[in-house]
Amino acid sequence: MNELGLLSNGVNPVLLIVVPLALAFAVPLIGFISKKIIKYIPVLAFLFNLIIAILLIPKVLHQPIIVKIGGFQPPFGINLYVGTVGILFSTLIALAGFLVSIYALNYIKEGPKEKYHILYLLLLTGATGVVLTGDIFNLFVFFEILCISSYALVAYFGNRAGIESSIKYLIQGSVGSSLLLIGIGLLYGQFGTLNMADIANQIQSASSPSIFVPMVLMITGLGVEAAIFPLNAWLPDAHSSAPSSISAILSGIAIEVGLYAVIRVLFTIFGASNFLMFFVFLGVLTLLIGEMSAFSQKNIKRMLAYSSIGQIGLIVFAVSLNTQYGVSAGLFQMISHTLGKGLLFLAAGYMIYRTASMDISSFEGIGKKMPYTSLAFTIGTFSLIGLPPFIGFPSKFMIIKAALAKEGILFTVLVGLVLLGTVIEGAYFFRVVQVIYFKKGNGNQERKEAPITGLIPMFIFALLIIFIGIYPNFIIKILNSAASELLNKIDYIRSVLG
């Protein structure tokens, strides 16, 4: 009952990690009592997480909370740094996790359900952990939890494609994490400490080549998970063969967390500003390659996977503009991508479930059979393209404004390329909408709508998309403070080291 205790003296952010972890291990125990309750546990866990995160937001806004685990003073003990960025991401993870767990209530029927829920809880704890930790080794540990559980979940269906893609994902992921570990080792060897703030503090004094190698190693390691261009070969296979709920989480949460890690490493630890210029080009390259390969896809989930790569490229482009407005635009795009892509994957899940095939041509006339799901799908596509009433529009608005704010013909050209990517995105998404609504469906037309538990998360996602789309000021405050926290690392160090 000590959780309640912790509740008393103000909410302790550590709960965000501890509760899902505990419940993850409690699942097999509860399994003995009755198999049916298991699938409700993740729902409870993330509902709890969501409430705590929302409660913490006002506190964190005026000054970040440093949680010292085991009473050791930093830089010795592990500490959690719950800044606005951290809380923003954890609310996002909790929200998405909560909704997808409702979706999974009766989406996951066959196969080892118990294992699914354990891995699901572990995956999201890993994600929350990465977001909140202030210590790079701790970052590595949570990162590993996240990756391993996602390897397993990708192979959940157990069919040939699932296993093959999860093996590929495993190999690349492990290569990435080993590079990450070497990087952390080098840093530890050089500075003798694992605490991010401490390293950030001592880094100015160190000579540039000696810190460049660990930086490259860490960025490549994290980049694999963050799906930046050359490193994201695993993403299309993993997302298309995973169950839809998992691919929603993977492309909604896992990639964003990977990207958060890369940004945290780049901005706070190394603060290498001219490296960011390289990242701008990398972002645009990822965007174009993602959109182009999505354009020629026939399979709906592979198309959505490639479009996730495109969106990631857009976010990287926005964040690496290295201005306050740019970074907040990038974070805004992350939120819109999580909501939009999550909605798309959930809707696509039930469409595939009903038509029992993944290629787009089988969706003809589904607008009639599943009106609400296809409406949700259309809202998702419109928001990703960036049409006014939906969340995609303000985020694209901010990105282009940030890009144009930087003088120079180079950035106008890059904006041109980004918009070219949007045009291609508009083209292939409209092609799908055309197939859904305007092709005459063959065969029976009676309505086989998705079940209620499937419709509720979609409905909430759609509601959020429209609400934030119309009223973006609602989250602008959090975004700006998160961006400022990321950008100026001095007060990060001061708040941790005191």
Residues that bind another protein (CB under 8 A): 167-168, 171-172, 175-176, 179, 208-209, 212-213, 216-217, 220, 223-224, 230-231, 233-234, 236-237, 272, 274-275, 278, 288-289, 292-293, 295-297, 306, 382, 385, 387-389, 393-394, 396-398, 400-401, 404-405, 412, 415-416, 419, 422-424, 426-427, 430-431, 434, 437-440, 470-474, 476
Which residue, 47 or 476, is less far from another protein as judged by CB?
Answer: 476
What is the nearest approach in angstroms of another protein to the Cβ of residue 230?
4
Which residue, 130 or 276, is less far from another protein as judged by CB?
Answer: 276
Which residue, 55 or 213, is less far from another protein as judged by CB?
Answer: 213
What is the nearest approach in angstroms of another protein to the Cβ of residue 152?
18
What is the nearest approach in angstroms of another protein to the Cβ of residue 395?
11
φ and ψ of 106, to 5 deg: -125, 25
Which residue, 12 or 177, is less far from another protein as judged by CB?
Answer: 177
What is the nearest approach in angstroms of another protein to the Cβ of residue 421?
10
Which residue, 263 or 385, is less far from another protein as judged by CB?
Answer: 385
Which residue, 22 or 292, is less far from another protein as judged by CB?
Answer: 292
What is the nearest approach in angstroms of another protein to the Cβ of residue 478?
14
What is the nearest approach in angstroms of another protein to the Cβ of residue 237?
8
Which residue, 176 or 243, is less far from another protein as judged by CB?
Answer: 176
Which residue, 92 or 468, is less far from another protein as judged by CB?
Answer: 468
What is the nearest approach in angstroms of another protein to the Cβ of residue 424?
8
What is the nearest approach in angstroms of another protein to the Cβ of residue 377?
15
Neighbouring residues of 287: CB distance < 8 A, sequence distance ≥ 6: 310, 313, 314, 317, 417, 418, 421
What is the nearest approach in angstroms of another protein to the Cβ of residue 361?
13
Which residue, 21 or 217, is less far from another protein as judged by CB?
Answer: 217
The answer to whether the beta carbons of residues 249 and 334 sit under 8 Å apart is: no
